[in-house]
Structure 1
Amino acid sequence: MFLRNAAIALLFVGAQCFAGCNASAAEPNGTSSPEIWPTNAWQVSTPEEQGMDSASLARLIESVGTYKQDSLMIVRHGKIVAEAYYAPYVAGVSHDLRSVTKSIVSTLTAIELQHGLLDSVDHPVIDLFPDKQIANIDDNKKAMTVQSLLDMTSGIDWQEKAYTPDETIIRMYRSPDRTEFVLSQPMSRAPGTTFYYNSGNPYVLSALITKKTGQSAFDFAKKELFEPLGIKSAKWGAVDAQGVTDGEAGLSLAPHDMARIGYLYLHNGMWDGKQIIPSSWVDRAKAGSVSATFGFHYANLWWSLPEKDAYMARGRHSQLILVLPKLDVVAVMTGILRDDEYYSASRLVDDISNSVKSDNPLPPDAIAQALLAASLRQAASEKPCAVGGTPELAKAVSGKTYQFDANVLHVKTFSLTFSDADPFWEITTETGKTDRPTQHFSGLLGLDGTFRRSPPAAYGINAVRGRWLNENTLSIERRILGHSETQTWALSFSGDEVKVNFENTDGLKAELHGRKIE
């Protein structure tokens, strides 16, 4: 659902603050109790006060923790009832949302409609881009509408699965005009007939936002969506050559701000007395009129499970904003799962639903609440990996710098220092810029089986741990907190040479060769 070059993985997301507040209105389920608006801060409650069972949530937090998750947050009746952060991730760090970004682009498109900037989602797409030199125009392409882009039924011939160089999505990113590239692809079917996941669709929708507003989608979002909701943690990459924000991915939000998006949808597009997006937009996302894959439905760039009264924004590596309207629940999850791992959204819906016991407060349960508190502490406590020991070789390589041949990661030099009380690593990379040809990165290294978090840097917070696999090979696991990628560097030393096998959760693999220079 989202592509990132591993070289870019050296520059990422840092810690940010988040926000929220309260006021009064009607509950989404029609009850007369005062509504809470978390524009300045989320209120916190025990689960029992909101009719939920603490013991059930404790089991859920433990279950989610067996996967490679970063966070789980559950809100009922406008108050946080459970909020887990799995070490080494910590609260407040903006998280890479991958394809949850698409659902935000959907929301911005809805705001265009609300403001009258877009006359109708039934408008033919190619008519909206008269300045583009669009190829392969036929009757199907002429019939392609904004709605078909929103429903992933555009009919454009597209390949997007393994992110190999010949796939359409990769060719889109290499194109000098990505919007024109998408619109120029041949049609494989009539629009509106068949679901096919195509990240070019939301890219075009982002370009449409720029065309209609004169702003990038990010700038438009800051004013019309993020500011009204109290969202302050947003980051969204660079614009392309035409000034268009990447509409298919690239947005980062802290979990509290992800929940604000879900809360907006829970309240049918209303926020503290203001209709941010049309309620009909939310109704369509909730209903999921398009049959998608793996039992899901789809509409307006949101996934749904109508039989469970659940709809959600989903992103690669287990990013999720989940809305359960009948239960008055919003849940948020972030993670770093590989593509062959997943936490079932259907199971999560069931587990949350089963923890809801009443629409009214339950009697306090001190033991269950203590169990929940213990599960939250356990989540925040890192589980060390096994460590076998340190070979004599460590002394020989400590403090030495290795220079690498040209490689896809653009790594120029690498060094490790084991002798200090706080072991650390250093990397330089080639930038390709004449004014600043190299860039330097460094951080702490945990050798006891746990991650060492480095002080915040401009590109984020490094969390790194290493262990010797044998007498010659050191394996390093590196994360930049809030980014859904994990990197593994296996360094095999032989004399003055080193071979590095690199792999990340996006599936990129690389082999680097270097030699000691000092």
Structure 2
Amino acid sequence: MKLNLSYKLIIYIVLLQSLSSCKVGRFIVYNFADINDHKKFPSRSIEKDSISFQFTEAKVSKIPDSVTVRKEKTSFKTYLEDNETVAFLVIRNDTLLYENYWYDYNRSSIVPSFSMAKSVTSILIGIAIDEGLITSVNEPVTNYIPELKDNGFNEVSLEHLLQMTSGLKFNEGYYNPFGTVATFYYGRRLRKAVEKLELENPPGVGFSYTSGEAQLLGLVLERALNGQTISSYLEEKLWKPLQMEYDASWSIDKKKNGLEKTFCCLNARARDFAKLGRLYLNKGNWNGQQIVSKAWVERSTAIDTTNGSSWEYQYQWWIPTKTGDFMAEGILGQYIYVDPKTNLIIVRLGKSNGDTNFENLFINMSSYYKTQN
């Protein structure tokens, strides 16, 4: 009996090791994306500057007392906790009106961005264009990834990728261990996976949200940087100039010569995510320094329905309404919401989206602050 148990244990350990070495195995072991995913993958560090920008903290929290859900009122704090929120920040006019954490999370807790990283990738593409490292959004992606010429990408421009109108064939289903997104998320050959992508429709016909386009932009950026890593570029162009409070990291596909997962996986803290919102609230200007051009910020958050584009999504940013607000969004309910009309920034990070619609909450909160001094 002891011998059989020993053999079973050995077989179990070998099976686990073999599973963890492949994409499907890692999918089975880790199952579904969760808030601790920054601990599962190798990453590159991103260092903060020696000087940290701090929002002014309000002496008294200024938030709605309650919210009404399904015709029932509940306290604002309870509503957030019940919907698995781990961090919630409200900033207006550079003043932190509300900051709270739940489930043993606090100000220094790391939370993965998930798809909010797509918006950060867009910022870096804009900076690279400002600096002449990338010529324009009208360039074909094959200028940077010539391997895709044989896959029919000659007519796919960087703008198609930014607007997700490339016609890319990509399975975004997170529950499918054999799907494309699982290959990108759990696989260890991200560059090869990108080079194997194919088109399902002609570019410029219609909008279809896929992580593949954001990762294509990542490979474009890496090649434009000519040896500098994307994490290093982020540190140089954003993390230090924005005087982030904490170091950060960006998950990569493998330890040696890895590529940043630019469709996801920037790991940081709530206050530092808020500073990315502040940058775009101020049209790319940070305390007098133009970090990314005003034109890029405006183009990234404009309403556009031409060439197959959706008014709800521009340059890797979501557009909740047609009144000027915009946001970065991640799969488990990670949000950076910005409304220039009310000088409002909201950061919500969570274990899941909960049983609610946070986008509606942000819109209603913006209306609430219109009535406040």
- Per the shorter chain, which TM-score range? 0.7 to 0.9
Is 329-338 or 232-241 further displaced after alignment? 232-241
Matches within 5 A, 1:472-487: none
Task: Report the Cα distance in structure 1 between the residues aligned to 2:188 and 2:77, rounded to whole angstroms.
Answer: 45
Q: 2:135 aligned with 1:119, yes or no? A: yes
Q: 2:290 aligned with 1:275, yes or no? A: yes
Q: 2:107 aligned with 1:91, yes or no? A: yes
Inter-CA distance 175–279: structure 2 relative to 1 (3 Å threshold) = same
Which residue of structure 2 aligns with residue 298 of structure 1? 313
Task: Report the Cα distance in structure 2 between the residues aligned to 1:228 and 1:174, rounded to whole angstroms.
Answer: 32
Q: 2:247 aligned with 1:233, yes or no? A: yes
Letter in 2 for 1:314: E
Task: Report the Cα distance in structure 1 between the residues aligned to 2:38 and 2:343, rounded to whole angstroms.
Answer: 38
Which residue of structure 2 aligns with residue 262 of structure 1? 277
CA shift for structure 1 position 310: 1.8
Residues 471-514 of structure 1: CA distance to partner in whole angstroms, max 9, x if unpaired? xxxxxxxxxxxxxxxxxxxxxxxxxxxxxxxxxxxxxxxxxxxx
Contact map agreement 1:287 1:306 (CA 8 A) in 2: no
Task: Report the Cα distance in structure 1 between the residues aligned to 2:305 and 2:364, rounded to whole angstroms.
Answer: 26
Task: Report the Cα distance in structure 2 between the residues aligned to 1:248 and 1:256, rounded to whole angstroms.
Answer: 21
Match of 1:229, SS? coil
Match of 2:283, SS? coil
Residues 328-377 of structure 1: CA distance to partner in whole angstroms, max 9, x if unpaired? 00000000116xx45313321233123315464xxxxxxxxxxxxxxxxx
Contact map agreement 2:116 2:335 (CA 8 A) in 1: yes
Letter in 2 for 1:12: K
Residues 388-436 of structure 1: CA distance to partner in whole angstroms, max 9, x if unpaired? xxxxxxxxxxxxxxxxxxxxxxxxxxxxxxxxxxxxxxxxxxxxxxxxx
Contact map agreement 2:155 2:203 (CA 8 A) in 1: yes
Task: Report the Cα distance in structure 1 between the residues aligned to 2:219 and 2:259, rounded to whole angstroms.
Answer: 5
CA shift for structure 1 position 185: 2.5
Q: Find 2:39's aligned residue among 12, 37, 45.
A: 12
CA shift for structure 1 position 182: 2.7
Q: Find 2:182's aligned residue among 170, 176, 180.
A: 170
Which residue of structure 1 aligns with residue 237 of structure 2? 224
Task: Report the Cα distance in structure 1 between the residues aligned to 2:100 and 2:312, rounded to whole angstroms.
Answer: 29
Q: Find 1:344's aligned residue among 350, 354, 357.
A: 357
Which residue of structure 1 aligns with residue 345 of structure 2? 330
Letter in 2 for 1:118: I
Task: Report the Cα distance in structure 2 between the residues aligned to 1:67 and 1:180, rounded to whole angstroms.
Answer: 38
Contact map agreement 1:296 1:305 (CA 8 A) in 2: no
Letter in 1 for 2:364: D
Contact map agreement 2:117 2:264 (CA 8 A) in 1: yes
Which residue of structure 2 aligns with residue 137 of structure 1? 151
Task: Report the Cα distance in structure 2 between the residues aligned to 1:69 and 1:194, rounded to whole angstroms.
Answer: 34
CA shift for structure 1 position 63: 2.1
Q: 2:179 aligned with 1:179, yes or no? A: no
Contact map agreement 1:210 1:216 (CA 8 A) in 2: yes
Which residue of structure 2 aligns with residue 55 of structure 1? 65
CA shift for structure 1 position 280: 1.9
Match of 1:236, SS? strand
Which residue of structure 2 aligns with residue 148 of structure 1? 160
Is 90-99 or 57-66 further displaced after alignment? 57-66
Q: 2:58 aligned with 1:45, yes or no? A: yes
Matches within 5 A, 1:398-413: none
Letter in 2 for 1:55: D
Inter-CA distance 219–72: structure 2 relative to 1 (3 Å threshold) = same
Which residue of structure 1 aligns with residue 123 of structure 2? 107
Residues 56-104 of structure 1: CA distance to partner in whole angstroms, max 9, x if unpaired? 6994333222211101100000110011111322221111111111111
Bigger RCO of structures 1 and 2 (CA < 8 A, at least 6 apart): 2
Q: 2:323 aligned with 1:311, yes or no? A: no
Inter-CA distance 357–186: structure 2 relative to 1 (3 Å threshold) = closer
Match of 2:198, SS? coil
Percent of aligned pairs sharing the same letter: 24
Letter in 2 for 1:233: D
Letter in 2 for 1:278: S
Please provide the CA RMSD for this pair.
Answer: 3.1
Letter in 2 for 1:160: E
5+ residue gaps, structure 1: 22-37, 361-518
Letter in 1 for 2:352: L
CA shift for structure 1 position 120: 0.2
Structure with the larger strand share: 1
Contact map agreement 2:327 2:335 (CA 8 A) in 1: yes
CA shift for structure 1 position 283: 1.4
CA shift for structure 1 position 136: 4.3
Letter in 2 for 1:236: W
Letter in 2 for 1:349: F
5+ residue gaps, structure 2: 1-23, 31-35, 68-73
Letter in 1 for 2:293: P
Which residue of structure 1 aligns with residue 19 of structure 2? none
CA shift for structure 1 position 278: 1.5
Which residue of structure 1 aligns with residue 13 of structure 2? none
Which one has the largest radius of gyration? 1
Match of 1:166, SS? coil
Match of 2:168, SS? coil
CA shift for structure 1 position 313: 0.3
Match of 1:235, SS? strand
Contact map agreement 2:303 2:322 (CA 8 A) in 1: no
Match of 2:328, SS? strand
Contact map agreement 1:285 1:311 (CA 8 A) in 2: no
Which residue of structure 2 aligns with residue 81 of structure 1? 97
